[in-house]
Amino acid sequence: MQGINTEALLSLRADMLRFAYLQLRNRETSEDLVQDSIEAALRHSLSFAGRSTLKTWVFAILRNRIIDHLRQAPRTVTMSSLVDDNDDWQERLETLFNERGAWREASRPVAWPNPEESMRTQQFWIVFEACLDHLPANTSRVFMMREFLGFDSDEICTQLGITTSNCHVILHRARLKLRGCMDSGWGRPEGSTC
């Protein structure tokens, strides 16, 4: 068994706050959960065996605290928070496909670098985080609940008071927006399309 380096743990605080705020959209609650996670990591430092990175271990603690908080929090959402006032996605979706439903040449998905290698690079996560930050708050929250926190669709719908079809539309839009953003900001070699 090995302990943890307190300075290394505290250096993760800003990333932890950003992750928590993305999910909770409340600075005070984010601060509280990050603080609780850091305290728990320090309290259980001897159980950190080094089988994963410190960041992975601490973020797992934070992730579990966020999940617990979301499950216990009141389940009220205003309708206005579900709609982006400037959302012209219906029109933008129509520009992706021709009248036969095939991809337009200019909007065709591109071949990405090796996904496993890309996921490991810091540059990928910097671009991904920037793209995630540009999503509407509710869209990024639904995406993070599904893809990072592991909630299933029914649980997301219950937590946020939305319908299953609305959840699926939000996830679809999030993936499209993230893909478009990642295509323009991440490893797009000229002329390489899928």
Tally of domains within the chain: 2
pTM of the entire predicted model: 0.51
pLDDT at 63 over 80: yes
Its domain, for residue 140, covers 79-185
Indicate whether 89 belongs to any domain.
Answer: yes
Answer yes or no: is pLDDT of 80 > 60: no
In a shared domain, residues 88 and 166: yes
* Domain limit, last residue, from 26, 44, 72: 72
pLDDT digits (tens, 9 = 90+) for 23-61: 888 899 999 999 999 999 999 888 888 777 888 889 889
Give dist(CA 134, CA 147) in Å, integer.
17
Task: Give the model confidence (pLDDT) of 144-184 as tens digits.
Answer: 888 888 888 998 898 888 999 999 999 999 999 998 888 87
53 and 97 housed in the same domain: no
Out of 23, 45, 72, a domain closes at 72
